Amino acid sequence: MAEVNGAGTRQLTIDGVTVDDAADCYVIAEIGHNHQGEVEQAKQLIAAAKECGVDAVKLQKRANRSLYTQEFYNQPYDNEFSFGRTYGEHREALELSPDEYAELQDYAREVGIAFFATAFDFESADFLGELDVPAFKMASGDLRNTPLLRHVAAFGKPMIISTGGAELSDVERAVDAVLPTNEQLCILQCTAAYPADTDDLNLGVITTLRERYPGLVIGLSDHQNGIAMALVAYMLGARVIEKHFTLNHAAKGTDHAFSLMPEGMRKLVRDLQRVPGALGDGVKRSLPVEEQPIRKMGKKLVAARELDQGHVLTPDDLAIRSPADGGLPPYELDRLVGRRLRRSVAFEDFVTFDDVEPAAEPPVRAQRGPGQGVRGNREVPPADGPTGAGAHAATQP
pLDDT bucket at 1, cuts 50 / 70 / 90:
low
Give residue 324's domain range: 298-350
Say whether both 197 and 262 belong to one domain.
Answer: yes
Say whether both 19 and 139 belong to one domain.
Answer: yes
pLDDT at 17 over 60: yes
How confident is the model over 95-106, as a mean pLDDT?
A: 98
pLDDT at 9 (0 to 100): 83
DSSP 8-state class, residue 172: H
Strand partners, 339: 358
Strand partners, 189: 220
Say whether both 335 and 204 belong to one domain.
Answer: no
Say whether both 237 and 271 belong to one domain.
Answer: yes
pLDDT at 6 over 60: no
User: What total number of domains does the chain contain?
Assistant: 2
pTM of the model: 0.84
- Chosen domain end from 335, 350, 365: 350
How confident is the model over 278-300, as a mean pLDDT?
A: 96
pLDDT at 2 over 70: no
* CATH code of the domain containing 63: 3.20.20.70
How confident is the model over 176-186, as a mean pLDDT?
A: 98
Say whether both 221 and 343 belong to one domain.
Answer: no
Say whether both 158 and 211 belong to one domain.
Answer: yes
Say whether both 16 and 99 belong to one domain.
Answer: yes
pLDDT at 350 over 80: yes
With a pLDDT cut of 70, the percent of the chain lying above it is 89
Q: Is residue 390 part of a domain?
A: no
Q: Where are the beta strands (DSSP E) in the chain?
A: 12-14, 17-19, 26-32, 56-61, 114-119, 136-138, 159-162, 185-190, 217-222, 240-244, 300-303, 318-321, 339-341, 356-358
Report which residue type is found at 146.
Answer: T
- Distance of alpha carbon 353 from alpha carbon 327, whole angstroms: 9
Say whether both 109 and 59 belong to one domain.
Answer: yes
- Distance of alpha carbon 85 from alpha carbon 171, whole angstroms: 37
Say whether both 308 and 216 belong to one domain.
Answer: no
Q: Per-residue pLDDT tens for 214-272? A: 999 999 999 999 999 999 999 999 999 999 999 999 999 999 999 999 999 999 999 99
pLDDT at 384 over 90: no
Report which residue type is found at 51.
Answer: E
CA atoms within 13 A on the CB side of 344: 12
pLDDT at 346 over 80: yes
| Residue of 240, 109, 244, 113 lying closest to 184 (CA atoms) | 240
Q: Per-residue pLDDT tens for 166-179? A: 999 999 999 999 99
- Chosen domain end from 279, 311, 336: 279
- Distance of alpha carbon 132 from alpha carbon 152, whole angstroms: 12
